Copies of this chain bind each other. A is one copy, B any other.
């Protein structure tokens, strides 16, 4: 299916596959998280927080939960003290990486133009 099939039917972008994609990667920090995970997975919660810097625990937590709910991130909890949790990407997330690169490249070529 392509956008062409939505001709005359699109009422709200949120209802299209495009809208789904945007909801999945549109969060303010999601791209950063996916990218950092792609580089270092699996990553622990605090490592992620440290690597990003300007994000609060609450936001990082909520974004990770959404990514997990959308099937992009796997959360693995180790039952020990102190707690240990590791995050990694799913195959679904891996298929998104080339697309994210393209979005990035388009931005490079066109921002400030």
Q: Which A residues form the contact surface with B (CB < 8 A)?
A: 1-4, 6-8, 10-14, 16-22, 24, 26, 28-32, 35-36, 39, 51-54, 71, 92, 95-96, 99-111, 113
Contacts and interface: CB of A to CB of B under 8 A. Distances in A.
A106 to B, nearest CB: 5
A contact face: mostly helix, strand, loop, or mixed: helix
A3 B17 CA distance: 24
B53 A11 contact: yes
Counted per complex, copies of this chain come to 2
A100 B106 CA distance: 11
Given A39-B7, A51-B8, A113-B71, A1 B108 contact: yes
- Give 7 closest A-B pairs by Cβ, nearest first: A17-B107, A21-B107, A20-B107, A20-B111, A17-B108, A18-B104, A21-B103
